[in-house]
Amino acid sequence: MNEETLNEYRCTRNGLYPIGTMGYDNTEARQGHYILAYNRDGALRQMMLRYPNEVDFTCDLWRKGV
């Protein structure tokens, strides 16, 4: 992957979805945060800055080269 190309990542907060809720095992049911970053680690760092009291996130590549 070219490190100079921004990608869009869809990140979700795992802590909001306890066992038995729709988003617990279905990330599509979760509210997504769409973040532009050069790589997955950069997107996760942005989530950690937004939600400093949380540590558990998912982060998936949504669109390449935006």
pLDDT of residue 17: 76
pLDDT in tens, 21-54: 887 888 777 888 999 999 999 999 999 999 998 8
| Whole-prediction pTM | 0.79
Does residue 22 belong to any structural domain of this protein?
A: yes
pLDDT at residue 8, as a whole number: 97
- Domain of residue 51: give its range: 7-63
C-beta of residue 43 within 8 angstroms of C-beta of residue 9: yes
> Beta strand pairing status for 33-37 and 57-63?
unpaired
Task: Say if 49 falls within a structural domain.
Answer: yes
Is 1 part of any domain?
no
Q: What angle do CA 29, 16, 22 make, to 5 degrees?
A: 35
7's enclosing H/E stretch is strand 7-13
State the pLDDT at residue 1: 47
Does residue 2 lie within any of the structural domains?
Answer: no
Decide if 57 is inside a domain: yes
Answer yes or no: is 23 within a domain.
Answer: yes
Tell me the pLDDT band of 3, cut-offs 50, 70 and 90.
low
Q: What is the pLDDT of residue 9?
A: 98
Strand order in the sheet with 7-13: 33-37, 7-13, 57-63
Count of domains for the chain: 1
